Structure 1
Amino acid sequence: MLAQQRQQAIHEMVQRLGGVRVGDLVREFGVSDITIRRDLEALADKGLVAKVHGGATALNRHATDEPGFAVKSVRQRLEKQAIAAQAAALVQPGTAIALSAGTTTRVLAQLLQDVRDLTVVTNSIPVAEVFYKAQRPDQNLVLTGGIRTPSDALVGPFAVSAIRALNVDVLFLGTHGFSLQAGFTTPNLLEAETDRALVAAARSLVVCADHTKWELVGISTIAPLREANVLITDSGLPGPARNRLSSEVGELLVAEVAAVRGAPDPPTAA
């Protein structure tokens, strides 16, 4: 198979599946790891796919596009791990926290399994699964209930009603996108309503968003930038964007991705 034919086939796979891994493509096409990486670079240079650690994903820039959890879990894996490590350092034993749905918050959940006397409120099935499997008697898990979305979030009136009855010290919020004009956004209207309830229930808001979310705008705003006490992003965010965000949020923390290179990849969806 010629390189052009192989790249076209890879592009079609990405469009159909939402994302692909280098190892799977090596087995599929019977070529070397280096050849596949060059193919992905060529497709990314043409603006046909988004290169991520270990593979590639489809480009979704529309206001209502909502990739599934499995697709998002392979994007910016090192960035999410670095961001989660920064976020975990903010969690104190004996506190009540909320974790919204998202792949970054799931990585954060993995890092919080050993925190003593922790109460965790979440509307995320994957996040709840992490704490459920840990089986720590000194950790309390509150799962909101609700209707499941493609991102494995529980949303809707049942979720909102449960959240409104609660008060937490800190909310760690994952977001589909963030921009100066639109603030923190999501492509799912019901998820936006549920996330707004989480924001209202928390005394402090910490938003976790990797650099690819910058200027990505979903159809519904969760909160304006100024409501974030802390915004944690990664070192891939350009300098001008950092300067602009620093004046909008309470505190901007930039996680160095190089600090986690060589560490194990964060877990993917089951």
Structure 2
Amino acid sequence: MTDSSTHTTQDKSTKRGRPPAQARLAAILDRLNQGGSVSVAEFAQEFGVSDMTVRRDLAELEGKGLLERVHGGAVSLQHGPLTVIDDVEPVFEARRRLNSDAKSRIAQAAVRLIADHQTLAFDLGTTVLAGARALISSEPAPGLRIFTNSLRVAQLTAAASVQTYVPGGLIQPGEMSVTGQAAVENFTRYYFDAALIGASGLTPDGVFDYSPEEAAMKSVYIQRSSCRILMIDSSKFRRISTVRVADLAQISIMVTDAAPPPELAQALEEANVSILIA
């Protein structure tokens, strides 16, 4: 009787294509242990279960002291940086696929913020590239000018007949970016209404990124823009990387997909950073 009942339960689970609860719990903890965050909506879609089921899973793990629930998902309970990212940046395509739904929502929200601006700077990264796609889809206003050291962004905006400027300098093939002293000096001459900035990590100590060369261009955008919009998904919270790009106080608005953990939220509030959750 017991074996028959067990097989029946397993068969039903297999037919539905839904992993059992213990498998879901293990997957959630594995994601957090890798330094990421958990999104209720994304996990529900991935496992083919309801949002309520995922919330119950998170509540169970929180009750065991294994994670901290935040708006729309959960983060690790560990205080301080979840991990120190090494010097090797993941390849672009792998980053593009990671948290793609969250990045799309962030992009749509960021584009609404810049609807009335005429001179925009676009940084590097997959979330900023998603912002460029969202901008083109929104039928940008005539007279818009884009400044970017991302050749991927430049290709999109130029193909949509948006006036696009790129600096001279050294092309980094993996990121398809233009970097170097010549690029920095070129864009230092300009001022921008707003800049869309990407990053690999965010802690109470500031904004972080992998490459010193690319960080130098981020600094130009931050220094020369009236409004600095940080586009960052919640998997980057409490993470640091090679280069500290900016203080929190240098960011005007952070657009993200989930509420930051308490100590980071407090630091952002003290730095007068507005938070927009997409």
Q: Report the TM-score when normalising by structure 2.
A: 0.68
SS of equivalent to 1:151 = coil
The sequence identity of aligned pairs, in percent, is 21
Structure 2 Cα separation of the partners of residues 98 and 46 of structure 1: 33
Classify 1:203/1:94 alpha carbon distance in 2 versus 1 (closer, same or farther; 3 Å): closer
- Residue number in structure 1 paired with 2:27: 41
Structure 1 Cα separation of the partners of residues 189 and 128 of structure 2: 22
- Residue number in structure 2 paired with 1:131: 157
Match of 1:170 among 162, 183, 194: 194
Question: Given residue 119 of structure 1, which amino acid in structure 2 is its aligned partner?
Answer: R
Where do 5+ consecutive residues of structure 1 fail to align? 1-31, 256-270
Q: Where is the helix percentage greater, Structure 1 or Structure 2?
A: 2
Where do 1:75-224 residues align within 5 Å? 75-93=98-116, 95-113=118-136, 114-116=139-141, 117-134=143-160, 136=161, 139-149=162-172, 150-181=174-205, 183-224=206-247
Per the TM alignment, residue 49 of structure 1 is displaced from its structure 2 partner at its CA by 9.1
Classify 1:161/1:74 alpha carbon distance in 2 versus 1 (closer, same or farther; 3 Å): same
- Asked if 1 retains the 8 angstrom alpha-carbon contact of 2:35 and 2:83, the reply is no
Q: Report the TM-score when normalising by structure 1.
A: 0.70
1:11-39 CA-to-partner distances (Å, cap 9, x unmatched) read xxxxxxxxxxxxxxxxxxxxx9768xx69
Per the TM alignment, residue 232 of structure 1 is displaced from its structure 2 partner at its CA by 1.1
RMSD: 3.1
Structure 2 Cα separation of the partners of residues 250 and 77 of structure 1: 24
Structure 1 Cα separation of the partners of residues 133 and 254 of structure 2: 20
Per the TM alignment, residue 175 of structure 1 is displaced from its structure 2 partner at its CA by 0.8
- Residue number in structure 1 paired with 2:96: 73
Per the TM alignment, residue 120 of structure 1 is displaced from its structure 2 partner at its CA by 0.5
- Asked if 2 retains the 8 angstrom alpha-carbon contact of 1:192 and 1:222, the reply is yes
Where do 5+ consecutive residues of structure 2 fail to align? 1-15, 47-81
Question: Given residue 150 of structure 2, which amino acid in structure 1 is its aligned partner?
Answer: S
- Residue number in structure 1 paired with 2:87: 64
Structure 2 Cα separation of the partners of residues 42 and 228 of structure 1: 31
| Paired residue total | 218
